[in-house]
Structure 1
Amino acid sequence: MGRQQWWWGRGLAAVAVLAVAGCTAIDDPAAPEASDAKPSLSASASAGAEGGEADTGTLPGVPSAEQARTELAELKVAPHGSMSGYSRAKFPHWAELGEDCNTRETVLERDGTGVTRDDECRAVSGRWTSVYDDKTFTDASDLDIDHMVPLANAWRSGANTWTQVKRKAFANDLTHPQLLAVSAASNRSKGDQGPDEWQPPSKPYWCTYARAWVSVKSTYELSVTENEKTTLTDMLGTCPS
């Protein structure tokens, strides 16, 4: 079994675990989405795994800087593919996880502190810090759930050949560093741009951002452009030694 298939199988297994716990994913690509629409996150490592390694916060599966450099060197380098045929509907999200909860609400609870929910699983109170711009919020409506590797970026770097089922797994991946609650302003500023076109305003987060981006691209065997690889190399250079 190829590396890509192994990781994808692991991601689907995580969804299966949720189902056993009473959470059932849906496969309806026409299901209504929450906000977070945009114009146009390998081996796990705990925060501080290498002593001086930058804190990864709540983001799961972030590799060490050393591992990210190894994975980056192995990624296929290619120009962006065509956007022909792309639509966000081909990456169904947010998946229902049972008990009226979905992927968005799950990430909001994971990334916040003191989060309380109503009977429909919506976050009604809590505190969130957007790591992209160091802004703090107490209203969940001010937050978007960012896809570390945007859906459109994934499409033009290999996801256009995937099945709809695999694209859904990618869009709702809670195992790898792909989903993160951030300010709506920063998420929409990022859009579908790669690291060579947009970096988090908070420079201290560049190390974690690059490690997460590389991990997701490596896990799903997505390509990078020359400029993307150069910028990621520079961003990994900001990681503490």
Structure 2
Amino acid sequence: MGCSPSDTSSPEQDKPSADEPSADGKNPGGEGRLPGLPTAAKARQQLDELEVAAHRSMSGYSRERFPHWSAQGDSCDTREKVLARSGTDVERDEECRAVSGRWTSLYDGKKVGDASELDIDHMVPLANAWRSGADKWPQKKREAFANDLTHPQLLAVTASTNRTKGDQGPEEWQPPVKATWCVYARAWTSVKATYQLTVTRAEKNELDEMLATCGR
């Protein structure tokens, strides 16, 4: 599963179109809206230092083991905070719900004007985290992970791409817009490094390839 680049693609096919998010963060769906995103060089260093291990068992997992979306004050929860920082001209009602605004979904470059069409994606999915070390965490740490507004773990994307991604890692699924692979790999690697989660060999290899799209 996932959208791997075709061996027959040309350089022209790999260039982002005018509607695709830019990897340099100038587009609202790009890195400028992801907090704590490391440089490509830092991400490569972090990737080299990650422990490589096979996935753990899914035994005992449920999304309820990662409480979300937590209250963040001013009647807001984590979802609304992410929507506010991810969009442009976002207006909220008295209950902090986003009632208008403009968003660009990082994964597919789609422009959205209705917050109900967006999911808040966990860059490193909860199930992936469970299989790579979070099964041993206390509940409070899992809640912090699921509601992390400091690191590049939460972003607003179209519901369709979020559900296509599911709990798959980069070795199984990549954003359909190749221009975003650099940002995606930097964010994924940073979250794994921050929380000292393991990566599989296939996952690490794919992240290395995706980081290669950042240039030098």
TM-score range, shorter chain: 0.7 to 0.9
Select the residue among 130, 133, 145 that pairs with 1:155: 130
**Per-residue deviation at 1:100?**
1.4
Aligned twin of 2:149: 174
The residue that corresponds to 1:54 in the other structure is: 24
Structure 1 residues 39-50: aligned runs within 5 Å = none
The offset of 1:97, in angstroms, is 1.2
TM-score, normalized by length of structure 2? 0.86
Structure 2: distance between partners of 1:120 and 1:64: 36
What is the CA–CA distance in structure 2 between the aligned matches of 1:105 and 1:221, rounded to whole Å? 27
Which residue of 78, 103, 114 maps to 1:103? 78
The Cα offsets for residues 208-228 of structure 1, whole Å up to 9 and x where unpaired, read as 100000000000000000000
CA separation in 2, counterparts of 1:78 and 1:90?
A: 22
Aligned to 1:200: 175
Aligned equivalent of 1:144, options 112, 115, 119? 119
Q: How many residues align?
A: 189
Supply the distance in 2 between the matched residues of 1:215 and 1:95 (Cα, whole angstroms).
Answer: 22
- 1:147-174 residue CA offsets vs partner (Å, 9 max, x unmatched): 0000000000000000000000000000
Which amino acid is the alignment partner of residue 24 of structure 2?
A: A
Distance 2:87 2:94 in 1: 18
Aligned counterpart, 2:16: none
1:233 CA drift (Å): 0.3
Look up the SS of the partner of 2:188 in the other structure.
helix
Which structure 2 segments of 5+ residues have no match? 1-22, 26-30
CA contact 1:207–1:238 (8 Å) conserved in 2: yes
Give how far 1:128 is off: 0.5
Kept in 2, the 8 Å contact 1:93–1:171? The answer is: yes
How is 1:9-88 mapped onto 2 (pairs within 5 angstroms)?
A: 54-55=24-25, 56-88=31-63
C-alpha displacement of 1:54: 3.2
SS at match of 2:157: strand
Give me the whole-angstrom Cα distance separating, in 2, the residues matched to 1:54 and 1:191. 26
Query: Which letter maps to 2:101?
Result: G
| 1:128 correspondence with 2:128 | no
**Using the alignment, how far apart are the partners of 1:219 and 1:96 within structure 2?**
23
Q: Kindly state the Cα deviation for residue 240 of structure 1 after the two structures are TM-superposed.
A: 2.8
Q: Percent identity?
A: 67
Q: Which runs of 5+ in 1 are unaligned?
A: 1-52
User: How far, CA to CA, are the matches of 1:99 and 1:107 in structure 2?
Assistant: 14
Structure 1 runs of 4+ off > 6 angstroms? none
Instruction: Tell me the distance in 2 between the aligned counterparts of 1:109 and 1:137.
Output: 13
Partner residue, 1:25 = none
Distance in 1 separating the partners of 2:205 and 2:125 = 19
TM-score normalised to the size of structure 1? Answer: 0.77
CA contact (8 A) 1:54 1:240 kept: no
The C-alpha deviation readout for 1:96-153, integer Å capped at 9, x for no partner, is 1122110000000000001001111100000000010000011000000000000000
Partner of 2:197: 222
Question: 1:93 deviation in Å?
Answer: 0.4
Aligned-pair RMSD on alpha carbons?
Answer: 0.8
